[in-house]
């Protein structure tokens, strides 16, 4: 079977270090930390009192005020990022077969704030079951995909992916497969998350997953550093317009990169901890390379999952060394979560965008906040510490792993005719 080619024609980003793609890339290039004390609620009683929140965002600039009240923040963020991606793509919807245009959107948690607020209101009330009529539609994790399809009239495949922190990459791989198998021509795909709430911070604190470096939030996300103590919670959205190559070419679209392969595996090990030897992570990178018809030596850069957790960082590096062998020492490797924090179900989307822009701009974003080497990590690996590095790149691989043992890898490369 002849598989069709899939290209990236539009990008949208709403992140803790920039509310547009250019702002996001500038923050990545300069090594900016998005972490600061939480402003969304009084976090003084929590073990972790900081996060990577969105900054200077006026939702009303993008969404009608009345309509915005019916939409949970996670879906608001999705709509804002998609708006940028669609404008960036330059696609004329009047010239698109909308039955062959779809939406696949990822979110690990969905409408957490809506759920928290409604249940809290009921629990502190007089026992009368008064709930907002929009409670369920605002909360469910598929509703962002629904809103996107309604706004743009996309009538093709439309659903949500939920695989914890791998959700957005799952969504991108699914969209990629629909297009290359000839079942669609255009997709809006990506992910969003809005978990900086009392329930989100408290829940992850209970898991002992978050950094508690309250005295220095901006340095708390420190992947691969000996003194890392957990991840930093982030929020936002990333949106990518994927298009069949000939379809994009026929309309003279700007093409950022080609999506050439993806892999998905399960650790089958533990609900929150990764396999200590990186079994699932190694397998997923191998599958992505096989899917792309590429060799390990063809990859120049890996945007790692790299959450800044003691177990996760080491197991991922072990997996990279298993898959890439001696070529691992020729790679640039970096964790952009050191700057953005962990956007959970949206992480794969903004990290895919970071990988695409790294190829486009011949610049590897850094892993910031490195202070002390970890003796458990191979010091000969180039983990791109503290400062961006110039490098001409042909291909980049991005990893995202989630609670439940969900693993995804996706590969982008420069477009060749």
Query: Domain of 414: which CATH number?
Result: 3.40.47.10
For 178, half-sphere exposure in the C-beta direction (CA atoms, 13 angstrom radius) is 25
Distance CA 230, CA 247 (A): 44
Distance CA 395, CA 347 (A): 19
Residue 173 CA: distances (Å) to CA of 53, 89, 317, 413: 27, 19, 23, 15
What is the predicted pLDDT for the residue at 208?
96
Per-residue DSSP letters for 244-262? EHHHHHHTT----EEEEEE
Full residue range of the structural domain in which residue 268 is found: 1-417
What is the predicted pLDDT for the residue at 1?
72
94 CB-near residues (< 8 Å, 6+ apart): none
Q: Following CA atoms 117, 43, 19, 401 in sequence, which dihedral angle do they give, to the nearest 10 degrees?
A: -80
Assess contact for 316 and 305: CB atoms under 8 A. Answer: yes
Tokens 């907002």 sit on residue? 132
Asked about 165 being catalytic, the answer comes back as yes
Distance CA 11, CA 84 (A): 7
Local structure of residue 356 (DSSP, 8 states): H
Residues lower than pLDDT 70 in the chain: none
pLDDT in tens, 183-201: 999 999 999 999 999 999 9
Closest CA to 213 of 342, 304, 308: 308
How many other β-carbons are positioned within 10 Å of the β-carbon of residue 205? 16
Domain total in the chain:
1
What is the predicted pLDDT for the residue at 127?
86
Kindly name the residue from 11, 14, 144, 165 that is annotated as catalytic.
165
Residue 34 CA: distances (Å) to CA of 24, 158, 232, 333, 368: 10, 32, 10, 20, 11
């Amino acid at each position: 079977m002849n598989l069709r080619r899939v290209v990236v024609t539009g990008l949208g980003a709403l992140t803790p270090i920039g509310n547009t793609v250019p702002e996001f890339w500038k923050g990545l290039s300069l090594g900016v930390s998005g972490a600061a004390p939480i402003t969304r609620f009084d976090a003084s009683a929590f073990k972790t009192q900081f996060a990577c929140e969105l900054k200077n965002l006026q939702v009303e600039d993008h969404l009608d005020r009345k309509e915005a009240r019916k939409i949970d923040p996670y879906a608001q963020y999705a709509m804002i990022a998609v708006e940028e991606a669609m404008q960036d793509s330059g696609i004329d919807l009047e010239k698109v077969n909308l039955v062959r245009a779809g939406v696949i959107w990822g979110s690990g948690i969905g409408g957490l704030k809506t759920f928290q607020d409604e249940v809290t209101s009921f629990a502190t009330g007089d026992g009368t079951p008064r709930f907002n009529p929009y409670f369920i539609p605002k909360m469910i994790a598929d509703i962002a995909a629904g809103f996107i399809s309604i706004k743009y009239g996309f009538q093709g495949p439309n659903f949500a992916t939920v695989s914890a922190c791998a959700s957005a990459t799952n969504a991108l791989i699914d969209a990629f497969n629909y297009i290359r198998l000839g079942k669609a021509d255009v997709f809006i795909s990506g992910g969003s998350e809005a978990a900086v709430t009392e329930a989100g911070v408290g829940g992850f604190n209970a898991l002992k997953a978050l950094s508690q470096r309250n005295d220095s939030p901006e340095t708390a996300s420190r992947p691969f550093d000996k003194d890392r103590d957990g991840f930093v919670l982030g929020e936002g959205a990333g949106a990518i317009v994927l298009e069949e190559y000939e379809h994009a070419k026929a309309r003279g679209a700007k093409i950022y990169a080609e999506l050439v392969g993806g892999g998905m595996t399960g650790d089958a090990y533990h609900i929150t901890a990764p396999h200590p030897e990186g079994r699932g992570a190694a397998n997923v990178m191998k599958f992505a390379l096989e899917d792309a018809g590429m060799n390990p030596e063809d990859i120049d850069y890996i945007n790692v999952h790299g959450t800044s957790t003691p177990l996760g960082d080491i197991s991922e590096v072990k997996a990279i060394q298993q898959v890439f062998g001696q070529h691992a020492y020729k790679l640039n490797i970096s964790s952009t979560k050191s700057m953005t924090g962990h956007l959970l179900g949206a992480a794969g989307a903004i990290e895919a965008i970071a990988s695409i822009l790294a190829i486009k701009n011949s610049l590897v974003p850094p892993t910031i906040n490195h202070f002390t080497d970890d003796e458990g990590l191979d010091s000969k690996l180039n983990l791109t510490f503290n400062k961006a590095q110039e490098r001409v790149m042909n291909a980049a691989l991005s990893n995202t792993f989630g609670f439940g043992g969900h693993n995804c890898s996706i590969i982008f490369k420069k477009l060749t005719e």
